[in-house]
Chains A and B, each alone.
Chain A
Amino acid sequence: NAGVTQTPKFQVLKTGQSMTLQCAQDMNHNSMYWYRQDPGMGLRLIYYSASEGTTDKGEVPNGYNVSRLNKREFSLRLESAAPSQTSVYFCASRARGGTEAFFGQGTRLTVV
């Protein structure tokens, strides 16, 4: 049982480049989340999807877009990367009626 899988694990981008972070879960969870984790700060919510077909902005959505492709997959896109987006990105999922967030292993993104 893989749980939540994120790809890639590491990525270096030049300022202005675009990329998509992929996330897939095999637990049949309804809700999926994208967070970023920066030194000295708690995880901050970028976007979330309460169910297939819906997405909503979180605390820090600027510069990002998301797609809930199907129930399993929730991708995060950076259209024009900026150095301020250097961070570790985590995808998480939660079952309907559940309380626990299950996290992927993270993507470490560096924008130079």
Chain B
Amino acid sequence: KNQVEQSPQSLIILEGKNCTLQCNYTVSPFSNLRWYKQDTGRGPVSLTIMTFSENTKSNGRYTATLDADTKQSSLHITASQLSDSASYICVVSQNSGTYKYIFGTGTRLKVLA
């Protein structure tokens, strides 16, 4: 069964600290993996995309990693800011004729001053 699991479910950190969110997936065939940020009351917005051959990709203070062998990804947030408070959703795509997205349940991050 195609699944995307994320951990932790929720996380509270102090402003300025770093954190790492985890994503494990069992999706086949694999096309790519994206991390989305979803602010409260808004739709998800893409942060970064990882394809099969990519190990690491950065977008400002966000760094995503992908280990295609173990089917794991992580999102590292450096020097957190209050505006990083949001849900972070791992989404794996598959393209077997029909393009499909499989969504994780998300990690809810709260950054405190």
Taking Cβ atoms with an 8 Å cutoff, the residues of A that contact B are 4, 31, 33, 35, 40-45, 50, 56, 90, 92, 94, 99-101, 103-106
Contact = CB atoms under 8 A, between A and B. Distances in A.
A31 B99 CA distance: 9
Contacts of A106: 41-43
Contacts of B46: 100-101
B49 A99 contact: yes
B32 interface: yes
Q: Which 10 A-B pairs have the closest CB atoms?
A: A103-B43, A42-B103, A43-B103, A42-B105, A103-B44, A105-B43, A100-B46, A104-B43, A42-B104, A99-B32
A103 B31 contact: no
Contacts of B98: 50, 56
B64 interface: no
B43 A99 contact: no
Interface range on chain B (Cβ under 8 Å from partner):
20 to 34
A40 B43 contact: no
Contacts of A41: 105
A5 to B, nearest CB: 11
Contacts of B89: 42-43
A22 B93 CA distance: 25
Given A42-B4, A42-B104, A100 B34 contact: yes
Interface in B61-99: 89, 91, 93, 98-99
7 contacts: A42-B104, A45-B100, A50-B99, A56-B98, A99-B32, A100-B34, A105-B42
B36 to A, nearest CB: 8
Nearest to A40: B105
Given A50-B98, A90-B43, A106-B41, A99 B31 contact: yes
Contacts of B30: none
A101 B101 contact: yes
Nearest to A104: B43
